Amino acid sequence: MSGKAPVIDQPASLVDRRRRVGIIALACGLLSVYGLWGGYQDSAWPAACLRIGIVLGALWLCLPVSRRPTVWNGLGRGRLAVLVLLAVFVNRIKVLFPILLVIGIAVWIVRPKKRR
């Protein structure tokens, strides 16, 4: 042993969970490929397996390993709030931009004037 402590001190079960999530993500991906190329294009389960495999693959990338800390370690509450708001409102930007523009103009017009 070199005497160096690992970067993270996670229980072994978390590393095992990462391995299981990776195996399930790979199995879902392979199952979706089989379903899409195996003649089940009209069925919904290959698309569902593909989506589940992609989400589990992203989760697998985020889970910690023994050589690096967790990805969300540096994510504070403010950054998390910004990410959630972006995820919710990014598709609605075409609707929100004119509304925010109108509100901004209204606030600019209604604001109190400076006294000289």
At residue 11, does pLDDT exceed 60? no
Residue 2 confidence (pLDDT) above 60: no
Work out the pLDDT band at 6, boundaries 50, 70, 90.
low
**Statement to judge: residues 19 and 61 lie in one domain:** yes
Question: Same structural domain for residues 2 and 53?
Answer: yes
- The model's pTM is 0.52
Give per-residue pLDDT as tens, 68-90: 666 666 777 888 888 888 778 77
Residue type, 85: L
Least-confidence region, from 21-25, 74-78, 101-105: 74-78
Q: Where are the beta strands (DSSP E) in the chain?
A: none
Residue 45 to residue 50: CA distance in whole angstroms:
8
Q: Is 84 found in the same domain as 52?
A: no
Query: Considering Cα of 67, then 73, then 79, then 80, what sign does the dihedral take?
Result: positive
Task: With CA atoms as reference, report the closest residue to 56 among 79, 24, 83, 33.
Answer: 24
Q: Are residues 83 and 96 in the same domain?
A: yes
Q: How many domains does the chain have?
A: 2
Q: Are residues 65 and 8 in the same domain?
A: yes
Residues 55 and 91 in one domain: no
Domain that holds residue 110: 75-116
